[in-house]
Structure 1
Amino acid sequence: MKFNYEVINEDSNIALVTLWSSINQIKGMLGSSARLVGIIGNLYTSVGINYMISTLGKMNWIDTLVVYGIDYNGVGDILIQFFKNERLNIILIDRDIVDKIKSTVRIIDLREAFKSRDINALVRAIHENYRPGRRPVRPLINVEFNEHEYGGGWVIPLVGGFIYEKDTYRSWVKLVDLVLNYGFDKGDYREFITPLVVIDSTGKPHPFRRLSETGLKGFEPLAEAINAIINELRVNPHSTSAVYYGGDYLIQGIISGDYYNQLVYLRSIDVLNDWCRQLYRWWSLAKRVVETLNREFNAWYSVGSMAVMPLSARIYTKDLGRAEEFVRRNANVLSEFVEDPRGNFLVMREGDSVIVEHRLPITNELHRRFSFHSLEEAYNTFKNSNHFTIYSHAMYLGKELARVFLLRDYEQDKL
């Protein structure tokens, strides 16, 4: 990562920090006064302050730092406090070097002037502090960075995540990986709030990689739960009131087409040690509901999808190392192909246009046809669309679109 800056006048002692505001916008507002600025640059994060210090180490005649721009995320506050001799929360540079550089730089905070569009305050500050001549105010310092990967839980509690799977084992690996990487450390466990995991078994006897039909029968579902759901669906197969509340969990079933689909809400779950047992348990209940309905009504229902949503998905601190090893050991599972139930894409060239056909699953019928003349046009169409269930499918289409716009003799999936 680099500090994004532009050198304007190498004789000037002034650096202008525009935070999140456009460099070109501020230069345009300054007009002819821009020629008095030594360097002008953006600053987006507290990590970026380290790179700004590195730039000041090389440009050892800069002694005035003016802050003028929009402060979206509070990095301006961090910068101002840092120059008031408060410590930087993320420091990648030797502290003695940092102290040497910042002790020779004066900071002028004009963020409020930017909010009121007072460009005159900035012009005055530049003219009053301009000192040409490149007179060094500190030794020339070449800064070395020492940045390590962040090894803790995520910095804020995250709510909401989605995993779509046709295989319960893959769902286990993906969920453990999700909590490991994006869970928030909370006491003696790492927690991710309300991930939604959908296990789609449409067209399959069951979604378990290592379990037979005989094995499934070993997980006897709760009779009260079966009765509550069956009693409602007996009366109205299209009911949305087939619900059972079990204290620390809630189950709701719904029939759609030829499929019985089921949602299970859990208060909490240990995703490393208890995920598979929970899936066996709730799948057995869904299977029993379907078998009972088919027997009583001479019907042909099958289990479609089972969605499981824990409020608190957690890995205990004592198990973090074991969880990391589990994900490493199963890295190949994460790369297995999962077909997107929202359909497939065919990419081809027609003259100067790129054609993308979105086709339905199973039948391969045409759902929608797109025509693009540039990669930017395709990107803007798909970036916020609802065409993808799986991240890998969106990444795949992005890769193929880049290839089709680069290659005149493009052929899909041919490398």
Structure 2
Amino acid sequence: MSRIDVFVAPRPNPALINIMTSVNRIVMLRGVPGLRDILPFNRLAGLRGVANIRHIDFPDADLQRLRASCGTGKATFITPNHPEFFTDWMIDKEIVSQVSPLTASWATNGVVNGLGRLMQKFWLANNLIAQIPGNSAAAREHSVAWAVKGHGVLLHPEGGVGWHGNVVAPLLPGAVEMGLEALRQGRAADPNFKVWIAPVVWKLAFTGNVERALAKECAYVERNLKIERNPTDTLPQRIHQIYSMLLARDEAAWAMPSDESAPYAERQQVLLLALGRRLGEAISFDAADAPIAELLRRSRRWQRENAGDVERQKRVRALADTIQRLQRVGSWASANPSITQEEIAEHLKRIRNDYCRSGLRDTMNRFIPQPVGPRCAHIRVPDPLGLHAYAGSVEDAVAELHRRMQETVTGTVVEVEAGRGFIFHPNPFYHR
């Protein structure tokens, strides 16, 4: 196997972790006071703060709630939402530094193992656990053992980044499953051993009007993707036009009719259903009533088990990649008549990640996406779920975890909105 697909247990170095906590706080998040607002220093990511998180709103009651779930005699699985790439680990690291500094964090194998031996050693010393697609048994076993020792384990139950800060995507069951195994092992030695699934959510909000900077980024995307701009369109309409044109290209690529007068969501759904049927036929699976997530999971398994069928592999991979990319714009995009600056920024980052492939600038954006302006991170902690006192199924526990996370995200959005923290525009995706 390639080294990228081989699990190596983390070797946490407390001294390095403490140093990186300070580096993260200044260089990655907040920036250098006195320089971060002065030209030309505010254009240098390391001085401005790479993630440009100017303020962190983390109420003490929420911090204490999370702290109470961590410590000796407990196994704690910390499950943050996953609205943004790169910023995710920076905020997560700041959170765990205050509650359980030796928390182990799950990360993609492409980051932990895929950047060379020196970087692998660095990430393992920072206590990162490499997630190996299709082969997570070793990572799970290590996570359970580490959690039983009284250290936290952090993983994103949504899986990949969706770039939708107001909505928690369907959750994966991994944290709950590992929690139940930790409970079994912990209770073997201590009848009072406890296991907590500790959800955390954060919502990012710009600290001012960033429309000019968003328009500049939108112009870059239009040029990159060769999409002509209508001079009279508002910024949200330009975003809608980009997505409409990209959808038309996918329709043409798969020989599907295109009705550009229909709402975007309707066209997207028609194409997704057609591609889903084709993918199901390609892997001999009845996709008629299967959720997209299950269809994609089956396709990944088929690809692993049929590596020798080259031509069919290409078709299955192309279908699965297109479906996965299309469904990332969910029903939430058209649910509300208005759209915020933050949602516009999320659309742009999603488009750049999924479609822009023209060179180093786009590659860097996928690994370290740069916000267009300073932001505040509003961090909240829903009530943790105690598996030691929970009698429901894994599915019930996952559903309850999702409910708590979504309710807290929604409540945080309402709270920020009440403080006039958002700037709104008419939403061109909205359809009654």
Q: Does TM-score exceed 0.5, indicating one fold?
A: no
Greater gyration radius: 1
Higher helix share: 2
Q: TM-score, normalised by structure 1?
A: 0.22
